[in-house]
Amino acid sequence: MYLWIKSLHVISVIAWMAALLYLPRLFVYHTAAEPGGVQSETFKVMERRLLRAIANPAMVATWVFGLWMVFGYIGWAGQGWLHAKFALVVLLTVYHHLLVRWWKAFCDDRNTRSQRFFRFMNEVPTLLMIAIVILVIVKPF
């Protein structure tokens, strides 16, 4: 059963990461659109669907299957790499919630952030993912 849970966890992580990498890119383009215009409204629909159909379910599934593996098979004791991974996944979850906050600002036509800001923020999940993968594969401590 462990390998099935692990597979579902990895699938969930891939879907979540795809959404976290794509949504800020949509924000970059949405920033250039005139608030209330046709293009802006199209971005709102795309962003809502990405969040509700992919990002949110994938985040929940990632947490469920990850915690299932920890409590059902791996355990916390003596797993320093796992504690570090957990902390980074918490940061990734905070980032996800920031994306939701910024999306709500776009929905209300009150975004004040620049394209440059969203381009910078688009790199955050990549950096966290690199660190998480290294922790999981190398288990440096």
Under 8 Å CB-to-CB from 93, ≥6 apart: which residues? Answer: 59, 63
- For residue 17, give both structure tokens: 């990461």
C-alpha span between 4 and 20 (Å, rounded):
24
| Polymer length of the chain | 141
Give pLDDT tens digits along the chain (141 positions): 999 999 999 999 999 999 999 999 999 999 999 999 999 999 999 999 999 999 999 999 999 999 999 999 888 778 899 999 999 999 999 999 999 999 999 999 999 999 999 999 999 999 999 999 999 999 999
